[in-house]
Amino acid sequence: MLLINAKNIKKYYGDRLIIDLPELSVFEGDRIGIVGNNGAGKTTLVGLLTGDILPDSGTVDIRCSYSYISQLDVPKIKSISSEFASKLNIPEVYTETMSGGEKTRFKLATVMQNNDTLIIADEPTSNLDIEGIEELEKTLNEHKGGLIIISHDRKLLDSCCNSIIEIEDGRIEIYEGNYSRFIQQREERRERQIFEYQQYKREKERLQESMIQISEKSKSTRNAPRRMGNSEARLHKMGGQSAKKNLDNRKKAVQTRIEHLEKKDKPKEAKPVHVDLSKGLLQSRRIISGEGINKSFGEKVIFEDAEFLVGPREKLALVGPNGSGKSTLIKMVLSDEGGIKKAKSAKIGYFSQNFEILDQSSTLLESVLKDSPYSETYVRTMLGRLLFRRDDVHKRIEMLSGGEKVKACVAKLILSDNNLLIMDEPTNYLDIASIEALEEAMSDHEGSMLFATHDRALIDRIATGLLIITGKKIVRFDGNYEEYLQYGSRIKKDDSSETLAVLENRLSILVGQLASINDTEEKNRLEQEYFLTAEKIKELRRNK
């Protein structure tokens, strides 16, 4: 069943061509992800397909009912059934006092309730915690009709989509398969472009060399040798003119071939940058540690006798539902509150969404260079890797977009003299290309790192382990998010799983303490606790 048919669509903003779409047909069962840099025209394309935006040329034929999830618009339906309210843990009636996550869940509930043929969603994961994202993913996968989704969540695009539309400089490219397949095809296309450019360059150089040789040969036919008489010279000249004409014709033919070569632009190459932090790395075995952590706001208890440990060069992702205490724990770490300790040699770089580390009155380059031990050339290269181009470095901080400010903060943190990075939701406001550039920068950082995020792909790529806030405790899991899901029975709400996870977290803490303590009496006490804890874990595993 055909749901949408669009032909010869063009949309301009001023003189700029935003969308150039020759044809697109959306059928029932199509699950399309739309990707592109911020400002590329993703939301404009969706607006054209729904009829909310009129094209400057072309036609759009919409043949089905659809539901639209937008982060900016208030839902048209203000109440939902008790069934969906209970399933998504939200009120039955929409109010502006809801949290961002509750508003998103409410919009999702209205879509589920409507049961329309086509679902269109614009950044539906915004403000959702990981549990909310997974619920959204499950709902979209259960939908049997069509799906068009704009998202920066690569895991969601992998799970829900069977084709990807990429928008770049107004051009539309359609790829079959999910996001991972799109990345593979895009890389294959890049390799093909590199090959074609090299072929073009070699052929052009060959033809140019041929022209030079023809020109040199043409010059040698102009003058008669001095030993010739006048009559011989005249004959030579006549023959030379004929030969020169032939050579000039050959030269013109070669020039024409050069002009008719299909020009191939050189693909852009990202310059590799490695930030050498080896001299400033923390040598302590306990970079951040906390024992007996308690925190509450009024009657709401956030942490109760919790504990955790971050070791050298570890990159730990802090995860948990909205409101579980991730930002609270980060603030406690920064202020040494509640028994939390940091290594004395720790130099902390902290990223928050208020961009306080940036000087709003300076340029991007000036702000990042300030307090950085690296040269201007080095800083420019890193900014280039974070997709700041040429004159972008001279933009004033106050003129940058939200996404650009995020990348500027990350650049400043990494290029400063920091050996411990603490980051709270660093991928907010970023498009996929910028998230991937951020991942590269975080991956290259050799110091310790603690970061809170709902981006599952970022966790899989960067994290060496997880700190999971659950049941007012902080549970450690050594592995990435996929491995955590596979072993998720540990964190289920039954008492034995909860106890097992807490005990294993305690065992990890004890290992770090035993490696760093010198006092014999205290070491004996910790060793005894270690063996008792290990025995309890074995017993629980036998009984599961």
Q: If pLDDT is split at 50, 70 and 90, which confidence band does 501 have?
A: low
* CA atoms of 212 and 394, how far apart (whole Å): 43
Residue spans per domain, the chain: 2-177, 198-259, 280-350+418-486
Among residues of the chain, what percentage have pLDDT more than 70? 85
pLDDT at 112: 83
pLDDT in tens, 176-230: 999 999 999 988 888 888 888 888 888 888 888 887 887 777 766 655 555 555 5
Sheet of 348-351, strand order: 348-351, 420-424, 448-452, 315-319, 465-470, 473-477
Q: If pLDDT is split at 50, 70 and 90, which confidence band does 499 have?
A: low
Instruction: Please indicate whether residue 234 or residue 162 has the higher confidence score (pLDDT).
Output: 162
pLDDT at 118: 94
pLDDT at 229: 56
pLDDT in tens, 159-188: 999 999 999 888 899 999 999 999 999 888
pLDDT at 217: 74
- Is a pLDDT exceeding 50 seen at residue 491? no
pLDDT in tens, 27-63: 999 999 999 988 789 999 999 999 989 999 999 999 9
* CA atoms of 71 and 126, how far apart (whole Å): 7
Count CB-CB contacts under 10 A for residue 508: 19
pLDDT in tens, 285-303: 778 888 889 999 988 999 9
Q: Which residues contact 207 (CB under 8 A, 6 or more apart)?
A: 254, 257, 258, 261
CB of 414 within 8 A of CB of 445?
yes
Buried b (16+ CB within 10 A) or exposed e, 311-324: bbbbbbbbbbbbeb
- Record the tokens describing residue 541, joined without a space: 């595993």
pLDDT in tens, 127-155: 788 888 888 898 899 888 999 999 999 99
Q: Do domains 2-177 and 280-350+418-486 have the same CATH topology?
A: yes
pLDDT at 512: 67
* CA atoms of 365 and 304, how far apart (whole Å): 44
CATH superfamily of the domain spanning 2-177: P-loop containing nucleotide triphosphate hydrolases (3.40.50.300)
| CATH tag, 280-350+418-486 | 3.40.50.300
